[in-house]
Structures are given as structure tokens and as C-alpha cells.
Structure 1
Amino acid sequence: MSAQDQVLNERKRKKWYQAVPDPMVLIFLILLATYALTFLIPAGAFERVMLDGRTRVVPDSFHYLNDVAAISPFDIFVAIPKGLNEASLYLFIVFIAGGLFHMLQRTGALENAIGVAVHRAGVERRNLIITVGTFIYGFFGVAVGFENNIALVPIAVLIASAVGCSSLVGTTMAVGGIGVGFALSPINPYTVGVAQGIAELPTFSGAWLRVLLVVSALALLSFYICRFVTRMDFEEPANAEAMSKSLDEYHLSGRDKLTLVVFGGGLVAMLVGVFTQGWYINEIAGMFLLIAILIGIVNGLSANDIVKQMMEGASSVTAGALVIGLAASIQVILKEAQIIDTIVYALSGLIQGIPASLSAIMASVVQGVINLFVPSGSGQALVTMPILIPVADLVGMSRQLMITAFQIGDGLTNLIVPTSGGTLAMLALGRVSYEKWLKAILPFMVLVYLLAWVGLFIGHLAGY
């Protein structure tokens, strides 16, 4: 049998749901579908006002627009470089973080530290290590945010390798933990803080339900990883982060310890900047670049060697970075066609006219769909909360519960929507394709949404 016949037979044996195209092809197909929507959905807009330094939507101000030019087929291709430009923040932090962790790998300090730690804990305690790691990443999601933790993903991949698991396990532990922690955080300033300000509620009030949800969801994620993800077939990419020796061969030298002090001190400085100076992607990327240079100096690298290591690391994540830019082109088409407000207006109407006990669940579904078109958490709050808070009052749902429903719908879908630049950046650093990620995470998404909906239903019955 020829090689071509073998390939054809292999394709025939695959189930329809296994024949997922390359991530670039998949996102381009979504881009084409988005372009088709511009002919089906009329352009429209809400009026907006500036309040407390933020642009907010005026409720009941939606109107259709008649003078919006049609998007031409050529604009599909023009949208791609525009998307690369708009997603440049994520592209640059992926390149810089890729360079930083490549340098850490070449020094051996991070691998040695993880090897020593796992050897002392005992590889037979694999499930405990994965569970603790998931909750630690969840804590970072709760306290630090989502995109701010992008560069921590390769550490989880190395931990997974140390306990004999694939990079898919490490990526799920990190991205899933950060995503769940961010989505259900009781102290999320980007979603809860902004939404409660619009709803005229005390900042971070009603935390008890969110605490229960985030702890339960992280426990569910830990169980899912240990029980299912560890058993999934996953072909490691050639450039995947992995342990190079058996665990009993690892030890920490004085230079390793100094390297880790520089790395840890840089992360602490980054967190201080995030919490006290309002640092975001640019400042974090700058700190990673500074850490990389200092690590190079500590390990005796010349300026040329530092540049070489950074370039090698950046080149290893190029494919993932380009996926981020391609996904951002979807948002470009939506904005230029001016149909985002029309979609928000239509979806918000779905919540009215249903029983109050189910309205919070429907609101979370609506917010999840909107998140595909408005991926920013604070941006989505500013667009949808002025509309949905009055809807909550009309259907007899508490404002607090509406905000929790918004948080669930916005946050959890960040894990799967192709317009989430932060998620795609993390996948790039974990060396996991979007296609493989969807296969791994979608069953968990069903479970965590069921858990969240039960929490919303109980919250309504408890008068939350």
C-alpha cells in the first residue's frame, strides 16, 4: 500500500468531529462566517456618554444606521494585517516571553528547580501536584488577572513533564486555572468592579457566591485534568518544553539559585506594578525583557548571546503569535460593519419574558455569545451592563445575580472563543494548538457551565 493510500485510509477512519482543520484555517473560516454576517445583520449603534472617565452605553438609545458602507470581499484580507496591528500587544508579549523562557531553559535553572521540587514531593503524588498547581494558577487568576499571567504557562508545562504528563496537561492546568480563577473571581476589578459600579452596588459585594463557585470550579478542573486530560492522546510538538533528565539527577547550583532569585524578583516587581501602578501588557512585557537581560548577565552571556537566545525563543512561538493576529481580524470586520451593537441589542432582548428563576442562566448564555464579539471584560461590562441592569429590575432578578451571570458568561468563554488574545497567547507559549485545546477543554466547559448554572439558580432561590 502506498503512503498516499495510507493517508486516505487514515482520513476515512477519523470521525467527523476529529477532522478539525489547522487553527489558521479554522479561524479564517470563522472570519469568512463573520463577513457573511455583515450581510444578514443591519448596522446599528447605541448612544454613548462619558461618565467617571469611562464611555458608557445609554439604555434604550439603540438605533439602526443607514449610511454604513458595505464591506467588500477584499476587506477580508485587509482585515488580517489590521488585526495583527490591533493585537500587537499580545504578539509582542508572546515573543518576549518566549525569549525569556527559552533563556531560562538554556540556563537550566528553572528545569533544575522543578526537577528538585518534584523529586522531593514524589512523582507518585502526581494528582496532588496537578491539583495544587491548578489551585495556585487559579489564585493568580483570582488575584492578578488574566493576560497578566501569560508568561507563567511554560512553568506548568515543565511541571507536567516532570510528573510524566504531556504539555497539554500543563497548559490545561495553567490556562484553565487562570481562566477559571479570573472568570469567577470575587475581586475581579475588570468585570465585577466595573459592573458593580454601573449597578450602584458596593465594590466586590456579594463575594460569598463567587468564592463558592471559584473553589468548586477549580476542584472540578483538577479532577478533570487528573481523570481525563492525563489520558488524552497528544503528540508533543518538536519544540515543547520538557524535562531532559531523570528526577534524581537534578540539583541546584549557586548560579541556578541566583538566576531564580532574579526571575522571582522580577515577577514580584511585576505584581507590584500591576497592583500599585496599573501596569498592563506593555509594562509587563518590558519587565520580562529586563528579566531576560539580567538572567543573561548572571549566566555570563555576552550581548550577542542574549540576543541570539531571545531570537530563538521568539521564533519558536511565531506560529501561535500569528494565530492571535488572525483572530483579531474577526473583531476588525465586526467593527467596520458596525454590527456589534445590533448583536448586543438583539441578544439582550432574549432575557426578557422568561421566568425570573431562569433569567440569570439565560443572561450568562447571552453574555457568553457577546464575548465572541466584545472580548474585553471591562469593555463588555461598559456595553452590556447599562442595558441588562434595567432588564434585571424588570424581570425580578437581583442586580447582584445579573452581575454574577455576566461574569460567568464573559469569563468562562474566554477559554474557548478565538477572539480572546490572552488565551491564544498562553496556548502559543504552551505549544498547544487551538484545535487540540478545543478537544481538551470543551467537555470541561460543559461541566463547569452546569456547575455555574446550578450556582445561579441556588443564588436566585436564596435571594442573592
Structure 2
Amino acid sequence: MPTPTPWYARIPPPLIMLFAIVVFVAVMTYVLPAGHYERIEVAGRMRVVPGSYGTVDSTPIGILQLFRAFPEGYKVATPIIFICLASALMFAILKATRTIENAVGRLLYKLGTKRAELILVLLTFFYGLLGIMVGYENNIAMIPIGAVVVLALGGDLVLAAGVSAGGMTVAFGLSPINPYTVGIGHEIAELPLFSGAGLRSVLCFGALAITAAFNVRYFRKIRRAPETAIGRGLDERGLALAKPLDEYAVSGRDWLLLALFGDGLAWVLYGVFNLGWFINDISAVFLVVFVVMAACSGLSLSQISAAGMKGIAEMAPATFIIGMAATVKVLLEQGQIQDTISYGLAQALQGLPTYLSAVGMSIGQSGLNLLIPSGSGQALATLPVMIPLGEALGLSRQVSILAFQVGDGVTNLFNPSLGGLVAMLSLCRVPFDRWLRFVLPLTGIILVWAWLGLLVAVAIGYS
């Protein structure tokens, strides 16, 4: 009797998933009426005017227009694509000189691998704090370091992604000080910036603790039964330690390159917090650090070139998918159905009981997140509509913003349209189907935790 095909074997790769979403959006331009809200500029941002939705002449997407949208999508995604390539170049030098491998090997020799579970917990929270304090795509350069450490502890690449990409995604999505969701939401709702941080912090750090416990549980499982590892057979070359821990030493050159790398990250932090830097500025810093590290690496010009091209080649599939994800946004705008979808979501929530409407708002935002993965883009498109609707349903403005944040943030864990996630998984060499096998149970647990937080927020009149 043939063995039944497991569900995860039928998951298409993200390239196919995204193409299906692109085609779906194009078809929807023939089904949904075109419409738009009026917008006004407030503090340099275009904000929707509540109650201003109206239909307009349809602009359905034809075949040629569908494929013409792809280069437009790549144009929109250029900053994210370039920061991925710049971080790949920077890590290529550290990889070619074995600097990260030497440093991790020596560190674990000093710490001992008997504290592996504690190290996994601390590492999950470390990446979570990066997500809270620094941002998302800004931290892409830190992902390979987590992969080297987790493999050295006896984990696999899927666990490496769970610790680094998982911890960062959860914390960034539920961050009490997320400027792209909470910050814009408070600006729209005319609330004090980052007010209500107490409850948001409990939700965020509780979700991080759940993620850390989930990672440790998976680690115990694959140590007990290696054949159950989801990451079994993935390419670990260049990331796994090549010799016993007691044989590693950190040379003077390694210390110099690590110092340059650390100085670059410090430079980025200073620019983000004090100079208002964004992705292009960070990319420029990464390129400067790459050039300086290359000059100090002792590698020949041909070795530097080969290492850089290899790093770019490894990142290329992720950047291709990032551009395709941006194509969805382009088609929504060209077909003029983005506002129609937001309006439909608002209409669907009317008449629901108060508690159910809060959860329903987060579920609706979760679906919208697959089409508009940009948190700031979603906030500007939907919150001006959702906040007045929430008040009519008995929800405070803080609860409406929290519902939006939960819907946007938690589903980022499995969103194929989120370019940063795809890039991080690429750096960990984890195919999307294997990532879904790992992360979907975690996503369900964190959603339940977040929805409980939403219900508590409604019960206490969170404002």
C-alpha cells in the first residue's frame, strides 16, 4: 500500500505561491469594484480620510500589464533588495576568512555546549531585542551568525532560522515601540506616542518566551531522535564548524575584522536612533564596512571578488522573490482595489459583538497582510477606517491599534510576501516548505496568546 503524501510535501515553493497571489490579485481586479478613499497629507504621509470611500471606473489588469508590473515591483523593492546584497557582501568576507567560525568555535569552547538550551533561549531573546530596538531588514547581516552558533550547539538550520528569524519576526511584529505600526497608529489616533506600552510589552515578551520554549522543545526532540529533524539534509557547508571546539583560536586578524563588523553595527544603531537613517543609509554603511574589511582581510583581489560573487549568488534567489512580492502592491494600486478591500473588511466587522470584533479585526488584518506586507502601508491604508469603526463597535483606539498590530505582526512568521523573512530564510538555507512545517504550530500558539491579550484589553478598557 503506497505511503500517503504528507501535507507539507504539497506546499509550493514561495516563488510559485507569490506568482499565484499575483495572478489572484489580477483576477480580482475584474471581480471587485475599483474604488478609493480620499487622502490628505499629514506630517509628510498620505493618510486616508474616513468615510470618503467611493467607487471609480474599473481598471482591470490585462496580461501584458500583469507582466509589466514585475519590473515596477522590483523598482519599489530596490532598497530592500540592495540591503540584502550589501549584507551578503559583508558576511562573505567574514566567511572567506573563517572569522565567524573561529569566534563562535572559541566562544562555545569557553562556555561549553552543556548549556546549549540556555544559550538557545538567550539567543532567541537577543534576536528579539534586535527586532524591537533596531528594526527588521536592518538586522539581516546578523542572521548567519545565529546559524553558525546553533549548528555548533547541535541544532539544525531550521532551528537556526527559528532562533534568529523567528525571534526577530515575533519581537518586531509585536514590539511595543514599533514605529511602522504602533507609531503610525498612535499618530493617526492622536494618542501619545507608544502609550499603553505596558500591555504591549507583556504580549511581546510573552510571545518571545513562547518562541524560545518552542525552539528548546524542537532542539530536545532532534537531539533525542535526529531522524525527525526538519532540517535534515540541508546544505550546512560554510556554516557548520569544521573541527573540534578545542582546536579553534581567534587570530589578530579575526579580532580586527570582528571589531570592524561591530563598529559598523554601532554606526548603524547611532544613525537609526539619532540621525533618522533608513534602509539606504544602512546599506551604505554595510558597503563601507565590506570595503574596509576586504582591505584588512589579507585576501587577494581575486579571492575578495570570488567571495563577494558567491555571497551575492547565494542571496540572489531571495532578492528575486522580494521583487516579486512588491509586484503585488503595484497591481493592487494599478487595479484600484486596495481601498476596496479595506472598505470591505470594515463592512464585514460592523454588527459584531465587541469582543468578537476585536479578534475579527486582527483576523482581517492577517489576511490583508498577505497582500500588503508593509506594516506602515497597511497602517496608513486601514487604520483611519478601522479606528472610527472600532469606536462605533465599543473598542478604544488603543484596542483597534493592538488588533491591527497582532494581525500584521504574528502572520509575518509565514508570509511569503514579506521580503525580509524570505531573505533571512535564504541566509539560513531553509526552504519555505520546511519553514512552514516548523513555524505554523508556533504561529498558532502565539496567535492564541495574542488574542487572549486582545480580550483582556477589551475587558479592562485598554486606552
Find the residue that maps to 1:349 and give its secondary structure.
Answer: helix
> Which one of the candidate residues 386, 391, 394 is aligned to 1:393?
391
> Which one of the candidate residues 230, 235, 241 is aligned to 1:233?
230
Q: Which runs of 5 or more residues in structure 1 are unaligned?
A: 1-8
> Which one of the candidate residues 80, 87, 97 is aligned to 1:90?
80
Change (3 A) 1:362 1:244: same
> Which one of the candidate residues 442, 445, 455 is aligned to 1:444?
442
CA drift at 1:304:
4.4
User: 1:437 & 1:84 partners in 2: Cα distance?
Assistant: 25
CA RMSD in angstroms comes to 1.8
Find the residue that maps to 2:407 and give its secondary structure.
Answer: helix
User: In the TM superposition, what are the counterparts of 1:66-215 in structure 2 within 5 Å?
Assistant: 66=57, 68-215=58-205
Equivalent position amino acid for 1:41 in 2:
L
- The equivalent of 1:26 in structure 2 is 17
Contact 1:239/1:431 (8 A) holds in 2? no
Deviation per CA, 1:52-74: give whole Å up to 9, x if none: 222110000001111x3321123
CA drift at 1:434:
2.2
Find the residue that maps to 1:381 and give its secondary structure.
Answer: helix
- The equivalent of 2:226 in structure 1 is none
Equivalent position amino acid for 1:227 in 2:
R
User: 1:325 & 1:436 partners in 2: Cα distance?
Assistant: 22
Deviation per CA, 1:335-394: give whole Å up to 9, x if none: 211111000110122222111122221111122122222222122212212111111211
Find the residue that maps to 1:49 and give its secondary structure.
Answer: strand
Change (3 A) 1:85 1:51: closer
User: In the TM superposition, what are the counterparts of 1:1-400 in structure 2 within 5 Å?
Assistant: 13-66=4-57, 68-228=58-218, 231=222, 232-234=229-231, 235-237=233-235, 241-400=239-398
- Structure 1 window deviating more from structure 2 (407-416 vs 297-306): it is 297-306
Deviation per CA, 1:17-62: give whole Å up to 9, x if none: 4222233223222222222222221111000011222211000000
Equivalent position amino acid for 1:125 in 2:
R
User: 1:180 & 1:21 partners in 2: Cα distance?
Assistant: 24
Contact 2:101/2:148 (8 A) holds in 1? yes
- Structure 1 window deviating more from structure 2 (19-28 vs 356-365): it is 19-28
TM-score of the two chains, using structure 1 as the length reference: 0.93
Deviation per CA, 1:222-244: give whole Å up to 9, x if none: 11112136633223136562222
Contact 1:240/1:430 (8 A) holds in 2? no
User: 2:278 & 2:33 partners in 1: Cα distance?
Assistant: 35
User: 2:212 & 2:458 partners in 1: Cα distance?
Assistant: 27
Find the residue that maps to 2:47 and give its secondary structure.
Answer: strand
Matched, 1:404 2:402: yes
- Structure 1 window deviating more from structure 2 (223-232 vs 46-55): it is 223-232
Q: Which runs of 5 or more residues in structure 2 are unaligned?
A: 223-228
User: 2:236 & 2:446 partners in 1: Cα distance?
Assistant: 32
CA drift at 1:158:
0.7
Find the residue that maps to 1:397 and give its secondary structure.
Answer: coil
User: 2:117 & 2:351 partners in 1: Cα distance?
Assistant: 46
User: 2:366 & 2:238 partners in 1: Cα distance?
Assistant: 32
CA drift at 1:396:
1.1
Change (3 A) 1:90 1:445: same
User: 2:86 & 2:237 partners in 1: Cα distance?
Assistant: 16
User: 1:386 & 1:29 partners in 2: Cα distance?
Assistant: 30
User: 2:326 & 2:44 partners in 1: Cα distance?
Assistant: 26
Contact 1:20/1:435 (8 A) holds in 2? yes
Contact 1:182/1:188 (8 A) holds in 2? yes
User: 2:212 & 2:194 partners in 1: Cα distance?
Assistant: 26
- Structure 1 window deviating more from structure 2 (433-442 vs 149-158): it is 433-442
- Structure 1 window deviating more from structure 2 (73-82 vs 130-139): it is 73-82
Find the residue that maps to 1:320 and give its secondary structure.
Answer: helix
User: 2:51 & 2:109 partners in 1: Cα distance?
Assistant: 61
TM-score of the two chains, using structure 2 as the length reference: 0.94
Find the residue that maps to 2:349 and give its secondary structure.
Answer: coil
CA drift at 1:75:
2.8
Change (3 A) 1:16 1:440: closer
| Identity rate, percent | 41
User: 2:14 & 2:417 partners in 1: Cα distance?
Assistant: 13
User: 2:24 & 2:434 partners in 1: Cα distance?
Assistant: 22
User: 2:189 & 2:313 partners in 1: Cα distance?
Assistant: 46
Find the residue that maps to 2:348 and give its secondary structure.
Answer: coil
Contact 2:99/2:257 (8 A) holds in 1? yes
How many equivalent residue pairs?
A: 454
Contact 1:90/1:425 (8 A) holds in 2? no
Matched, 1:421 2:419: yes
Change (3 A) 1:164 1:362: same
User: 1:332 & 1:382 partners in 2: Cα distance?
Assistant: 16
Find the residue that maps to 2:169 and give its secondary structure.
Answer: helix
Equivalent position amino acid for 1:80 in 2:
F
Change (3 A) 1:316 1:275: same
